[in-house]
């Protein structure tokens, strides 16, 4: 069980009269629409404010020093920062307060960028900024020092997914002295990378990269690999998760044939079983799915000569013939049409939605390079096979990848550019010895209609989020509009999830190259090791607390609680005997306040967000005389 906290939540201290207010110009993001100096002047006259200062960038070192010096010199004992969203720099300012020797929870934040300058202008913006700062001052006056919740943490991690990201994450964590279980639902390791032949931009053999990773993983005594295994149960909290997993023997031959990768000996189970895994953190390395074109899309499913890029790569890798012209399936391939952005960058009103009314509006990022890499391989091995590249835009980003585009031009790949509204039309050819014809308005020749006869059409399909809806529901994981798993913040917390103790690795998060997936996996692994290495974790103390002197044991709070196990009824000894009263299991508490709203006599409150603090905020908002300066 988690730490129970039955501390009296009622505020026993006098209201602070030494509040410091620090207002940010945000380099013009705020000051272009808010009169920052007027806000400072108003704040300086608010009750309890000892000093009000401004800075071009409060998050910068000089900005933080303003706070640190005032705390060290005893000028202030509470801090209000008015700047951009607290989700961006709350940890920054808490860190500054800690370095000054203060308690990081004596701080409140007024968002005057997203909530003010980005939506209002002129006097209205300044007025609202004044109000938000006043409300924060009202709350700050009643803030009391809090201690983070400390709970034991298991030095054990679980990685879900045995692709390159999962393998990399497991290895990095284990190298830091933490035991790891690697779960893979198929009988093989390597994931989608196992379907590749060589890897852009430098041409390494994918099988060699996977073999090296798997050998390192199997050789590591701190790593346990479980294939044909899926998570079927999940509960607990950061540092103390309980997973229920199910292992079911699979048709190995089917998977080997599909993956093109040899199953490592001795890891395929031969019996069905369920077992529990007690772990401290979880890394989601569940990978992606290649977009499957719908029936008839560019002739797919209707013309046998239309295949996807992954299928083409697999066929190419199995081709052992030599000569100046490519042969596939016993027939010569004189020309190939490669079409970009199939299943990516889809536009409402232009592209057809799937059965759920959804479009992949994002760029899959890796397709351009993969397509041109495949084109270069064909031209270098079979120079007499012509290649026509139909593209909307070429996006060969990253080190060494623009050279792939340059090489394709030197290899005489013919480029034709099309607009999203005028995608190429693929039809069976008539009156020609070529089986397929591709028709397009070529933007490079001022929209001249071009008809290209080809033997093969290759669709550069994008990446889609993996099928993890069961895990999303079970673990309550956030998902972005693109259906990939969602990080807390792309810059400040790029591999962390809203569920504490759960991290992201690789293409479970977004379309990535193998290199990017491995980098993300290493970042997630380091975060995991840092979290668990101390043997305990610390959580924000913004949780509910019960005053047992007032609690009458109605149980209304337990019924209203949104988090399983966060509230329970326990036996409490009183002068009149043993009675049932509510108790908070802090590790599970969301700090949502649902319990506070239903308690009939106010026996429960939230640390750091008490009802008295809310009342003080409202009082400051409605008190116009306080902001006359």
- Whichever domain contains 278, its CATH number is 3.50.50.60
What's the domain count of the chain? 4
Whole-angstrom distance, CA of residue 557 vs CA of residue 566: 10
Burial classification of residue 569, based on how many CB atoms lie within 10 Å of its CB (0-12 exposed, 13-18 middle, 19 or more buried)? middle
| pLDDT value of residue 3 | 39
256 and 359 together in one domain: no
| pLDDT value of residue 575 | 84
348 and 275 together in one domain: no
CATH at 92: 3.40.50
**Residue burial 235-263, b: 16+ Cβ < 10 Å; e: rest:** ebbbbbbebebebeebeeeebbeebbbeb
471 and 512 together in one domain: yes
529 and 550 together in one domain: no
**In contact, 124 and 96? CB cutoff 8 Å:** no
Residue 257 has pLDDT above 50, yes or no: no
34 and 126 together in one domain: yes
User: Residue 431 region, left (φ>0) first, then alpha (ψ -120 to 50), else beta?
Assistant: left
Q: Is residue 202 part of a domain?
A: yes
| pLDDT value of residue 88 | 84
User: Residue 485 region, left (φ>0) first, then alpha (ψ -120 to 50), else beta?
Assistant: beta
Q: Is residue 628 part of a domain?
A: no
The whole-chain average pLDDT of the chain stands at: 92
| pLDDT value of residue 225 | 95
Q: What percent of the chain has a predicted confidence (pLDDT) above 90?
A: 83
Residues 2-14, mean pLDDT to the nearest whole number:
43
Q: Is residue 614 part of a domain?
A: no
Q: Is residue 629 part of a domain?
A: no
- pLDDT tens, residue by residue, 571-594: 999 888 899 999 999 888 989 999
| pLDDT value of residue 9 | 42
418 and 272 together in one domain: no
211 and 305 together in one domain: no
| H, E, C per residue of 148-204 | CEEEECCCEEEEECCEHHHHHHHHHHHHCCCEEEEECCCCCCEHHHHHCCEECCCCE
| pLDDT value of residue 459 | 98
Residues in the chain: 629
Q: What percent of the chain has a predicted confidence (pLDDT) above 70?
A: 94
CATH at 570: 3.30.70.20
Please name the residues in contact with 454: beta carbons below 8 A apart, sequence gap of 6 or more. Answer: 305, 334, 335, 336, 337, 388, 434, 436, 437, 438
Q: What angle do CA 284, 286, 287 make, to 5 degrees?
A: 125
Residue 109 has pLDDT above 70, yes or no: yes
Q: CA end-to-end span of the chain, whole Å?
A: 52
Residue that the structure tokens 């490592």 belong to:
264
Least reliable range by pLDDT among 12-21, 122-131, 139-148, 194-203 = 12-21
Least reliable range by pLDDT among 204-213, 445-454, 500-509 = 204-213
320 and 390 together in one domain: yes
Identify the band that residue 266 occupies on the pLDDT scale cut at 50, 70 and 90.
low
**Residue burial 470-499, b: 16+ Cβ < 10 Å; e: rest:** ebbebbebeeeebbbbbbbeeeebebbbeb
Of 504, 536, 568, the last residue of a domain is: 536
Identify the band that residue 564 occupies on the pLDDT scale cut at 50, 70 and 90.
confident
Residue 468 has pLDDT above 80, yes or no: yes
Residue 253 has pLDDT above 70, yes or no: no
Q: What is the DSSP secondary-structure string of 390-451?
A: EES-----STTTHHHHHHHHHTTPEEEE--GGG--EEEE-SSSSSSEEEEEEEGGGTTEEEE
CATH at 403: 3.50.50
25 and 78 together in one domain: yes
**For the ranges 88-92, 306-310, 325-329, the one whose mean pLDDT is highest:** 306-310
DSSP 8-state secondary structure symbol assigned to residue 180: E
| pLDDT value of residue 83 | 97
Tokens of 14: 């006098």
Residues 464-469, mean pLDDT to the nearest whole number:
95
- pLDDT tens, residue by residue, 421-461: 999 999 999 888 999 999 999 999 999 999 999 999 999 99
| pLDDT value of residue 260 | 43
Residue 525 has pLDDT above 60, yes or no: yes
Identify the band that residue 1 occupies on the pLDDT scale cut at 50, 70 and 90.
very low
Of 124, 147, 170, the last residue of a domain is: 147
339 and 378 together in one domain: yes
- pLDDT tens, residue by residue, 326-337: 999 889 999 999
Q: Is residue 599 part of a domain?
A: yes
Residue that the structure tokens 């009939």 belong to:
600
Residue that the structure tokens 């992954």 belong to:
310
Look at strands 386-391 and 414-417 and give their pairing: parallel
| pLDDT value of residue 268 | 67
Of 401, 430, 455, the last residue of a domain is: 455
Paired with 580 in beta bridges are 571
Residue 270 has pLDDT above 80, yes or no: no
197 and 82 together in one domain: no
Q: Is residue 366 part of a domain?
A: yes
Radius of gyration of the chain (CA): 30
Q: Is residue 124 part of a domain?
A: yes
For 318, the domain range is 300-455
Q: Is residue 597 part of a domain?
A: yes
Whole-angstrom distance, CA of residue 238 vs CA of residue 501: 5
438 and 585 together in one domain: no
């Amino acid at each position: 069980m988690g730490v129970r906290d039955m501390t009296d939540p009622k505020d026993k201290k006098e209201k602070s009269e030494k509040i410091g207010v620090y207002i940010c110009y945000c380099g013009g993001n705020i000051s272009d629409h808010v009169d920052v100096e007027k806000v400072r002047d108003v704040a300086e006259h608010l009750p309890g404010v000892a000093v009000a200062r401004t800075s071009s960038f409060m998050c910068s070192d000089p900005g933080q020093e303003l706070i640190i010096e005032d705390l060290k010199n005893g000028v202030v004992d509470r801090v209000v920062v008015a700047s951009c969203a607290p989700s961006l720099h709350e940890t920054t300012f808490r860190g500054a307060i800690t370095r000054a020797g203060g308690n990081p929870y004596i701080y409140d934040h007024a968002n005057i960028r997203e909530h003010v300058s980005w939506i209002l202008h002129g006097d209205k913006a300044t007025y609202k900024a004044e109000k938000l700062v006043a409300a924060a001052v009202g709350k700050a006056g009643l803030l009391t020092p809090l201690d983070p919740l400390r709970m034991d943490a298991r030095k054990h991690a679980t990685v879900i997914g045995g692709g390159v990201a999962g393998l990399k994450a497991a290895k990095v964590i284990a190298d830091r002295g933490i035991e790891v279980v690697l779960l893979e639902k198929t009988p093989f390791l390597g994931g989608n990378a196992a379907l590749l032949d060589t890897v852009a931009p430098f041409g390494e053999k994918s099988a060699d990269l996977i073999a090296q990773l798997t050998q390192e993983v199997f050789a590591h005594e701190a790593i346990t690999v479980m294939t044909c295994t899926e998570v079927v149960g999940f509960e607990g909290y950061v540092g103390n998760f309980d997973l229920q997993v199910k292992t079911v023997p699979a048709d190995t031959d089917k998977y080997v044939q599909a993956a093109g990768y040899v199953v490592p000996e001795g890891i395929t189970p031969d019996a069905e079983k369920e077992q529990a895994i007690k772990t401290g953190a979880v890394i989601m390395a569940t990978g992606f799915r290649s977009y499957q074109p719908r029936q008839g899309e560019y002739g797919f499913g209707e013309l046998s000569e239309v295949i996807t890029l992954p299928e083409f790569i697999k066929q190419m890798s199995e081709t052992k013939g030599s000569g100046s012209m490519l042969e596939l399936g016993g027939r010569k391939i004189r020309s190939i049409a490669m079409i970009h952005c199939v299943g990516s960058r889809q536009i409402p009103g232009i592209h057809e939605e799937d059965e759920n009314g959804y479009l992949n509006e994002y760029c899959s990022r890796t397709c351009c390079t993969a397509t041109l890499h495949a084109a270069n391989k064909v031209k270098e091995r079979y120079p007499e096979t012509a290649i026509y590249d139909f593209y909307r835009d070429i996006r060969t980003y990253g080190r060494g990848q623009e050279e792939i585009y340059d090489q394709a031009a030197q290899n005489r790949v013919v480029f034709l550019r099309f607009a999203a509204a005028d995608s190429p039309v693929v039809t069976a050819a008539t009156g020609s010895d070529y089986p397929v014809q591709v028709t397009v308005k070529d933007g490079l020749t001022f929209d001249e209609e071009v008809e290209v006869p080809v033997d093969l059409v290759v669709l550069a399909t994008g990446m889609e989020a993996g099928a993890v809806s069961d895990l999303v529901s079970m673990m309550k994981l956030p998902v972005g509009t693109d259906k990939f798993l969602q990080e807390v913040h792309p810059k400040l917390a790029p591999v962390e999830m809203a569920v504490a103790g759960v991290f992201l690795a690789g293409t479970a998060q977004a379309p990535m190259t193998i290199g990017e997936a491995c980098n993300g996996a290493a970042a997630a692994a380091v975060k995991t090791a840092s979290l668990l290495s101390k043997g305990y974790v610390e959580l924000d103390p913004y949780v509910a607390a019960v005053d047992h002197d007032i609690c009458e044991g109605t149980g209304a709070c337990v019924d209203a609680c949104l988090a399983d196990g966060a509230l329970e009824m326990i036996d409490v000894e009183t002068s009149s005997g043993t009675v049932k009263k509510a108790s908070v299991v802090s590790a599970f508490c969301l700090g949502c306040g649902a319990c506070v709203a239903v308690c009939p006599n106010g026996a429960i409150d939230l640390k750091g967000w008490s009802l008295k603090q809310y009342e003080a905020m409202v009082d400051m908002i409605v008190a116009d005389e306080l902001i006359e300066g």
